């Protein structure tokens, strides 16, 4: 599909919805199951190109793991994984293709750094432009043998000699933290990691449920190497980052009363809900239960009048993927909103400061780019326009939600990239057409 058209005032977001399973947890479930020599059952694994697809052609994490000897079978919608333990993966015959997925690349780099064979990794044009020094540097400090031009893909990882050590992480990146954790599992000696800025913590939570070799005291994670990883099953809850598009759609469109079921409610993932509540959003959380160490539950959203907000500092890693859709909410909120300290947005699937500002400007938002952030003067309405996803799934979905509320018609060019995280996104949106 070259483009999609969304008509204004044509939606109301009421009823119940389930969104695809959480992508971050899915990547980790697959990686951790690969460390278990017995069979692991994964229920509700996301269908998304970063993880797996129905046609099985683009499925970054599953494909890379299968290429290094992990076995997968799908029975009645569940995925069964037979892993290989910590250090017994086998060399891939070809280059490992990480597609569009930064999470696949960075997490698997940690694991491959501790293996006894050479691996080559590559990805699509967007991924080839993303920074890998953040992972190459700490892994090399541990003794990994990694070569690349300009610290970007393609990357070659040769056998190294990993040693534990002490790390202070200042970036606030779960991908970097997780790469070090996976490498630490294969290293000689203990590794201690201190996070200065808290980032999503699924890797450590999920590993703790499968081995005693991981301990957390306050902001320090201690990893003892060579664990025997034992896990029977992972059940993956809905992805709050995907739900965020429908939450904002319900807030902005008239007469909405939407319940999104079975969502991951991990605190490092739903900080955007705190921000929206601060802006005046009517959002209720209910039915909280624990599943695979993660809280899950339902979220109800009603149409709300929003006011401006300031988001900065340590809160940025806790809502980094939700910033484009929060910018849409701020565009229609009363007053001036500021998003500061958000330079990391420039290193996502697109430069999300530039792409969010350029595309929302086309719809008449009072949005401006600053060095490490975005300033938004809220308005009472937006106008339809001709926009582009820049091949970034979260920009495409944010623009589609904007299209439901902007006056006139909104055209989104290159919308197919939504398959990276939410293949049925436009169908789900269409179900709320009046």
Select 14 or 209, whichever has its Cβ closest to ligand S3P.
Answer: 209
Longest alpha-carbon distance in the chain: 62
Residues 6+ apart with CB under 8 A from 337: 308, 309, 310, 311, 330, 375, 376, 378
Residues 6+ apart with CB under 8 A from 386: 362, 411, 413
Q: Which residue has the tokens 């300033």?
A: 375
CB 259, CB 299: distance < 8 Å: yes
- What DSSP designation does 11 have? B
Select 198 or 338, whichever has its Cβ closest to ligand S3P.
Answer: 198
- Per-residue tokens: 229: 């990883």
Start-end of H helices in 21-171: 23-33, 60-67, 102-113, 125-128, 133-141
Q: Give me the residues that bind ligand S3P (CB under 6 A), please.
A: 24, 27, 103, 173-175, 178, 199-200, 317, 320-321, 344
Position of minimal CB gap to ligand S3P: 24
| DSSP 3-state of 332 | coil
Quick one: the chain helix, strand, coil %, rounded to 5?
A: 35, 30, 40
Q: HSE of 273 in the Cβ direction (CA atoms, 13 Å)?
A: 24
Residues 6+ apart with CB under 8 A from 291: 235, 237
Q: Is 321 noted as a catalytic residue in this protein? A: yes
Shortest spacing between CB 320 and ligand S3P, in angstroms:
5
CB 181, CB 203: distance < 8 Å: yes
Shortest spacing between CB 101 and ligand S3P, in angstroms:
9
- Per-residue tokens: 152: 């970007």
- Per-residue tokens: 161: 């000699």
Q: Which residues are catalytic?
A: 321
């Amino acid at each position: 599909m070259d483009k999609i058209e969304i008509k204004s005032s044509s939606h109301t977001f009421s009823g119940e919805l389930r969104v695809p399973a959480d992508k971050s947890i899915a990547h980790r479930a697959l990686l951790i199951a690969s460390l278990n020599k017995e069979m692991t059952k994964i229920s509700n694994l996301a269908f998304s190109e970063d993880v797996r697809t129905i046609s099985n052609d683009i499925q970054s994490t599953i494909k890379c793991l299968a290429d290094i000897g992990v076995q997968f079978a799908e029975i009645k919608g569940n995925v069964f994984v037979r892993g290989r333990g910590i250090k017994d993966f086998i060399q891939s015959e070809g280059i490992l293709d990480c597609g569009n997925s930064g999470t696949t690349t960075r997490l698997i780099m940690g694991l491959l750094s501790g293996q006894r064979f050479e691996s080559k990794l590559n990805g699509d044009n967007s991924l080839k432009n993303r920074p890998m020094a953040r992972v190459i540097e700490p892994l090399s400090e541990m003794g990994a043998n990694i070569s690349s031009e300009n610290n970007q893909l393609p990357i070659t990882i040769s056998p190294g000699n990993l040693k534990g050590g002490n790390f202070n992480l200042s970036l606030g990146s779960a991908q970097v933290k997780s790469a070090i954790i996976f490498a630490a599992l294969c290293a000689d000696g203990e590794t201690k990691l201190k996070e200065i800025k808290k980032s999503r913590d699924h890797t450590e939570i999920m590993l703790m449920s499968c081995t005693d070799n991981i301990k957390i005291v306050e902001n320090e994670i201690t990893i003892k190497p060579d664990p025997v990883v034992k896990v029977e099953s992972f059940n993956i809850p809905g992805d709050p980052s995907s739900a965020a598009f429908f939450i904002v759609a319900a807030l902005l469109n008239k007469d909405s009363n939407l319940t999104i079921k079975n969502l991951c409610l991990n605190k490092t993932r739903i900080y955007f809900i705190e921000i929206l509540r601060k802006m005046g959003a009517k959002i209720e959380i209910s039915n909280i239960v624990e599943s695979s160490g993660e809280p899950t539950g339902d979220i109800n959203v009603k149409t709300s009048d929003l006011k401006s907000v300031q988001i900065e500092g340590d809160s940025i890693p806790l809502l980094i993927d939700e910033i484009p859709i929060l910018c849409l909410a701020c565009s229609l909120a009363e007053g001036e909103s500021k998003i500061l300290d958000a330079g990391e947005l420039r290193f996502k699937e697109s430069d999300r400061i530039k792409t969010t500002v350029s595309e929302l400007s086309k719809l008449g938002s009072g949005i401006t780019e600053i060095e490490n952030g975005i300033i938004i003067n809220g308005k009472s309405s937006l106008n339809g326009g001709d926009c582009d996803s820049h091949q970034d799934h979260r920009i495409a979905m944010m623009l589609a939600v904007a299209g439901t509320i902007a006056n006139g018609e909104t055209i989104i060019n290159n919308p197919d990239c939504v398959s990276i995280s939410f293949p049925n996104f436009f169908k789900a949106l269409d179900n709320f057409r009046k």
